[in-house]
Amino acid sequence: MNNAEILKRYCSRLIAIERRSLLTKDCYSLEIKQFLEYSESQKITLEKADAAFLTSYLAMRRDVNGIDSRTASKAISALRSFFNFAVDERLVSENPAALLESPKRKSRLPEVMDRDTVEELLDKIKTSTPKGLRDRCLFELIYSAGLRVSEASLLNLKDIDIEGGVAKVRGKGNKERLVLFGREAAGLLKQYLSYDRPKLAGSINKSNALFINRSGKRLSRKGIWKNYARYALLAGTSSHIHTLRHSFATSLLAGGADLRTVQELLGHADLSTTQIYTHVDTAVLRENHRRYLPKLNLIRARD
């Protein structure tokens, strides 16, 4: 098999056998495509691709592409998965990626915004047009329900219960969960579905997607990112769209919600992933302490 055929069979395995999500399939496929191209440029066959060669590939990705530790970890996961496939297909005798160690990730607190800042950003969206109302509805829903961008993009009309304030979303690993959204999001959804979505959809559109573009097709993740970046620029903030999800989680904890509840609403498989938001809340407390008690901080600095 040539590299194109190998990659095609690998992608089929990810979906049909490993039951990976489309997002994971796309990420792994892109990584392995780059790896195979690099191997070809170095005249190294799969059989000769040992752990040392994989390490040189990852070094190239850091030096040329500037990947961080998080992306490097994902690249290693993709390589392990691919070489498991290669072993099963008898393309190689063993998995060299099993010897690779994932880099330690730097502990970073996620960026968050308070409700006033979120409102200021959302107010930059002009709702006088169908596209503007759609975006206001979309970003209000992402914030109100703590959605991932991919989850918002995959929402269908049947997934929304406006009266109950409940939506069914498909998260990582195609796992489904129920999320809640507030009155503001519900009101915007009613208007969007009654007046603005039909204008975007046109007379012959049959898409089941909740959020659609001007062509009547499902609004993609890239389209959502692009639109949010424009509104963030207008609002004078450098925040990324995932900040809305972080802000949702932090607001819940600050309001007294327990970790298990937040874990369930966010769709985290591991509680330790949710616990980072407790550190965010502590960071906010420290910043407020520094800002509103400057004299006390000055005294401590002298001591």
> Does residue 148 have an active-site annotation?
yes
**Given the residues 136, 170, 245, 246, the one annotated as active site:** 245
Task: Report percent pLDDT > 70 for the chain.
Answer: 88
Q: pTM of this prediction?
A: 0.63
- What average pLDDT does this structure show over 71-86? 92
- pLDDT of 189 over the 80 cut: yes
> Does residue 242 have an active-site annotation?
yes
> Does residue 279 have an active-site annotation?
no
Which segments of the chain does DSSP mark as H helices, in order?
Answer: 3-16, 22-41, 51-65, 69-88, 115-122, 130-145, 149-154, 183-191, 197-201, 221-234, 242-254, 259-266, 271-274, 276-292, 294-302
List, for residues 159-169, the tens digit of each pLDDT value: 999 999 999 99
**Given the residues 134, 148, 170, 246, the one annotated as active site:** 148
pLDDT, position 65:
86
Closest alpha carbon to 171 in 145, 144, 139, 147:
147
Mean pLDDT of the chain, nearest integer: 86
DSSP string, 154-193: H-BGGGEETTTTEEEEE-GGG-EEEEE--HHHHHHHHHII
> Does residue 108 have an active-site annotation?
no
In sequence order, the 6+-apart residues with CB closer than 8 A to the CB of 102 are 72, 73, 76, 77
Cα-Cα end-to-end distance for the chain: 71
Instruction: Measure the CA–CA gap between 41 and 101, rounded to whole angstroms.
Output: 25
pLDDT, position 301:
46
How confident is residue 227, by pLDDT bands cut at 50, 70 and 90? very high
- pLDDT of 298 over the 50 cut: no
pLDDT, position 303:
46
List, for residues 105-117, the tens digit of each pLDDT value: 655 666 788 888 8
> Does residue 277 have an active-site annotation?
yes
> Does residue 115 have an active-site annotation?
no
Name the least confident of 49-63, 267-281, 287-301: 287-301
